[in-house]
Structure 1
Amino acid sequence: MARRDASDLAYRLGQQAEAVCRHYLSSGRREGRYWLVGDVRNTPGRSMYVRLKDSPKGPAGKWTDAATGEHGDLLDVIRESCGLIDFKDVADEARTFLSMPHPEAHASRKQAPAPHGSPEAARRLIRMSQPIMGTIVQAYLRERAITDLRGTGSLHFHPRCYYRPDEHSPTETWPAMIAAVTDLGGSITGAHRTWLDPRHREKAPLDTPRRAMGDLLGNAVRFGIGGEVMAAGEGIETVLSARQVLPDMPMMAALSAAHLAAILFPDTLRRLYILRDDDPAGDSARDTLVERANAVGIEAIVISPQLGDFNEDLSTLGIDAIRSQTRVQIGSQDVARFMAIAA
């Protein structure tokens, strides 16, 4: 049904292609049989062209971005220029533009749209993303001295992730690292976004370049399959920094000090290493987590950085320093089991 609806709406939009372009791609202009604009997100420029009339080369409304190779139809234009994710929202916007009646909702037959920030919205965002290898996410992590990316299937890349500073501001698009937050059973409950600056391979110059969505409490971004021994820390980069010298140890990133303190323990867990951040919030999370672990018979061992956190240690002091300091803080049996041998 959705595919048939999409084809019908795309055709109807194509019959009014120039009006659609004037409304959603207002930064461009008509030249001959095409509408020229910078990209599908309405950036000024001339690299994207939209066919305004049916021709032997294709129907009206089809577009191609010569700079990126992207292509699509006018439903894609509505989705990208309006910052929409769900097809229902795109279809509703298209029907509004076309002055078409909106179909009545039948709860028993139609899926309700995912509420903004919900676990379902998080799952859809992750499905829209791609692996990180060869992307700016890999380059960003490399800039932070994180080069061993084994077991990082929970991380994804989205080339144009929507960002709105607040409800009164226009939607922007930035590349982003998307991390899947999962529960103890492996089900995705949320997503964490880190928007990136493609020019400098660092966090994007935004007021809040990191945001989470979905259900986070008790859950985590997981690296490796949990067992009797695991490590847990706050940030993704902190945890990945520790994994540079402990690549075989399963780890969890709780995404904040408060969520680290509340992380849920797998039934198999017998020893938990706590990757402490050296600040008051990190101290509080450490104390709470140690108390909770000990109360259920889990051995809790704190590993402390020399500087503010483990990524700062890795980036500033180097991998040999973090290997040396970690070696003396973990159990000898775990050195042999989990620690990577220095090259």
Structure 2
Amino acid sequence: MSRPIAGTLGERYLRNRGVTALTDLLALRFHAECRWRADARSPPEARPAMIAAVTDLAGRLTGVQRSWLDPQGFSETTFGKAPIEPARKAMGELYGHAVRFGAPGEVMAVGEGVETVLSLRSALPALSMAAALSAANLAAMFIPETVRRLYIAQDKDPAGERAAMTLAERVAERGVEAIILAPRYGDFNDDLLLHGVEDLRNALRRQLFSRDATRLLTPAR
């Protein structure tokens, strides 16, 4: 029942979060009347939601994340998410899998939330990326065999820092170079919203491997 995200409240939500990387979003869709309930005893409510497909390394769908959105749009209180708790729920087989953007090559980036990863991709549009959806799953994420250098977008909290370090140590054991990217504020979406994409590019330039900085830091489309 979901449809492509282009032209929907889901796309407006991402734009309001500062995201400019709005191409190659096959992993994201929009559901105008996605069921939400506070708990198993509550009656279901129909609410608009962004649907993120969780896939394994072979591209097989293993789960979905539903992010319910506020039809009234962006506010400094909700940042566009529906004023309900929880505003996000995931279902299916999530362990080690991710929401994926772009085909992986020798270099890719990973992070926790969809908004965080798409914020990073707004500054690095040519780089394939994946969102683990949680700190615990970031630490356990399966990385494609093609990857030789992995950028890990760390959330600035104890759980995020531990997850980034755990993943870096795991992939290093198989010879993958891991580089942890640290945001200035809570996460890279905070950085993007507060200072814009050009400032984010400049901050990333100092953290990327030099050849990657030259190759990847092209203007956003």
* TM-score bin (small chain): over 0.9
Matches within 5 A, 1:310-321: 310-321=188-199
Q: TM-score, normalization: structure 2?
A: 0.95
Question: Offset at 1:253?
Answer: 0.1
* CA deviation vs aligned residue, 1:133-174 (integer Å, no higher than 9, x gap): 110001111111112311211000000000011111111011
Question: Offset at 1:342?
Answer: 6.6
What corresponds to 1:323 in structure 2?
A: 201
Q: Higher relative contact order at CA 8 Å, sep ≥6: structure 1 or structure 2?
A: 2
Unaligned runs of 5+ in 1: 1-127
Matches within 5 A, 1:1-343: 128-201=1-74, 202-341=80-219
Structure 2 residue matching 1:231: 3-state secondary structure: strand
* CA deviation vs aligned residue, 1:5-45 (integer Å, no higher than 9, x gap): xxxxxxxxxxxxxxxxxxxxxxxxxxxxxxxxxxxxxxxxx
Question: Offset at 1:181?
Answer: 0.3
* CA deviation vs aligned residue, 1:185-238 (integer Å, no higher than 9, x gap): 000000000000111241001110011000000100000001110100000000
Equivalent pair of 2:20/2:220 in contact (CA under 8 Å): no
Kindly report structure 1 stretches of 4+ aligned residues shifted beyond 6 Å. none
Amino acid at match of 1:132: I
Structure with bigger strand share is: 2
Structure 2 residue matching 1:274: 3-state secondary structure: strand
Question: Offset at 1:175?
Answer: 0.4
Structure 2 residue matching 1:137: 3-state secondary structure: helix
Evaluate the alpha carbon distance shift between residue 171 and residue 184 of structure 1 in structure 2; reply closer, same or farther with a 3 A threshold: same
Equivalent pair of 2:21/2:119 in contact (CA under 8 Å): no
Amino acid at match of 2:60: S
* CA deviation vs aligned residue, 1:106-148 (integer Å, no higher than 9, x gap): xxxxxxxxxxxxxxxxxxxxxx210011100011111111123
Amino acid at match of 1:253: A
What corresponds to 1:114 in structure 2?
A: none
Q: TM-score, normalization: structure 1?
A: 0.62
Q: Quick one: distance in 2 between partners of 1:290 and 1:321?
A: 26
Evaluate the alpha carbon distance shift between residue 222 and residue 342 of structure 1 in structure 2; reply closer, same or farther with a 3 A threshold: closer
Question: Offset at 1:332?
Answer: 1.5
Unaligned runs of 5+ in 2: 75-79
Bigger Rg, structure 1 or 2:
1
Q: What is the RMSD of the two structures over their aligned residues, measured on CA atoms?
A: 1.1
Structure 2 residue matching 1:291: 3-state secondary structure: helix
State the percentage of identical aligned residues. Answer: 53
Equivalent pair of 2:21/2:220 in contact (CA under 8 Å): no
